[in-house]
Amino acid sequence: MKTATIRISLALATLALAACRGDEGGAAPTTTDAGVVDNPTAIKCPFPTTAKGFVNEDSQNVLETGKLFMNEDQDAYGLPSALGPLKGKMQRGVSNYIVGKVFAGEKVSLWVQGAGGAWEQSGASVDTDANGNYSFAVPTAQQAKGSGFGYVLLEGDGSCAQHGIFAWPRGTKIVVTDIDGTLTTANAEFQTQVTQPTYVPKEHPSASEMIMKWSSKGYRVVFLSARPDNFRDASRVWLRDKGINFGPIITAKNFVTGAAAVDYKTKALQTVVNDYGWQIVAAYGNEASDVQAYANVNVPKAQTFTVENANGIEGTSGIAGDDYGPHISNYVDKQTDAQQP
């Protein structure tokens, strides 16, 4: 993602956010969900909840003025039995994704599905710190091979933050894709959504169908974006509403472009390839920074698919007209189904 306008706008957004920081399952809305049913940024709890009331008086003000979910709920992904903690920040935005207000010193609890499929609390509740941060170890049962979700419940109002849990063994075959300008029609779609939260970014023709086609063939999908962490909830909602069974969503601490994006994405990919031993079978991007990061971990140019600004550059496989429809029939459909370890 680049362009002078986006750089300036997002740089200001990052500074403002730093200065001011102080569903899966299809379950029917619960009593506490009812207040956010029409909120396009909300992640619904897949289990019934009740609001227990806040510990701090300031938190009620955050609830009343902050309607946008900006929880920075990171995914845990990696090798089975070696997943890092589930980390997040309980945070809401007032009118855009630039300034967040945090729920400090509030009770949060981790919920996962038990052996019988019912949602249950894992361990004791903990308090968020002064900046709204929390951390939970992934329970042993969820450390096993496979994919799933954990939900962190803000007990004060009964709302949830969603975390993906992806424990995949060495040799797992994955597809890696950028989001903005790669799945969406342009980088500017993200810029618009930052300041207009009800705006739904448009996608390139058949982009979501392409991702789901890879998924239906048994490949795992990793989303590697230059978006900042506070945009995770909005990313989850967009993917969910497009019908995409998402995998790990990797985001940056701050919005990055150019050389910084290359460095950030290269390090993330090196972890995936070198530390986890996952095999990238296809990679998608729209910027030279994507192409360089993929090259840095030896993704073949023939398996690097590009659109927009990077369409066909440096010997990559350009997507004609930025339309994934022909690419699905001419390439994805012809790949053998994944034989995952």
**pLDDT the model gives residue 12:** 35
pLDDT digits (tens, 9 = 90+) for 75-98: 999 999 999 999 999 999 988 888
What CA–CA distance (Å, rounded) separates 253 from 263?
A: 13
**pLDDT the model gives residue 39:** 67
Q: Is 26 left (phi over 0), alpha (psi -120 to 50) or beta?
A: left
Helix (H, G, I), strand (E, B) or coil at 63: helix
Q: 309 near 296, Cβ under 8 Å?
A: no
Percent of the chain with pLDDT over 90: 79
pLDDT digits (tens, 9 = 90+) for 209-254: 999 999 999 999 999 999 999 999 999 999 999 999 879 999 999 8
The residue that leads in pLDDT, 176 or 42, is 176
The residue that leads in pLDDT, 324 or 115, is 324
Domains and CATH numbers, the chain: 4-167 (2.60.40.10), 173-334 (3.40.50.1000)
How distant, in Å, are the alpha carbons of 83, 149, 160, 194 from that of 100?
28, 25, 17, 12
pLDDT score of 3 more than 70:
no
**pLDDT the model gives residue 25:** 32
pLDDT score of 26 more than 60:
no
Q: 175 near 168, Cβ under 8 Å?
A: no
What CA–CA distance (Å, rounded) separates 181 from 79?
A: 30
**Model confidence at 8, in pLDDT bands (50, 70, 90)?**
very low
**pLDDT the model gives residue 38:** 53
**Model confidence at 13, in pLDDT bands (50, 70, 90)?**
very low
Structure tokens at 107: 């009770």
How distant, in Å, are the alpha carbons of 11, 47, 247 from that of 250?
19, 26, 9
Buried b (16+ CB within 10 A) or exposed e, 193-215: bbeebeeebebbbbbbbbbbbbb
**pLDDT the model gives residue 42:** 83
**pLDDT the model gives residue 197:** 87
Helix (H, G, I), strand (E, B) or coil at 166: strand
Give me the mean pLDDT over the 170-195 stretch.
95
pLDDT digits (tens, 9 = 90+) for 100-146: 999 999 999 999 999 899 999 999 999 999 999 999 999 999 998 89
Average pLDDT of every residue of the chain? 89
Taking the model in full, what pTM does it have? Answer: 0.89
Helix (H, G, I), strand (E, B) or coil at 177: strand
Give me the mean pLDDT over the 17-26 stretch.
34
Query: Phi and psi for 88 in degrees, rounded to 5?
Result: -165, 180
Query: Phi and psi for 64 in degrees, rounded to 5?
Result: -75, -30
pLDDT digits (tens, 9 = 90+) for 152-164: 999 999 999 999 9
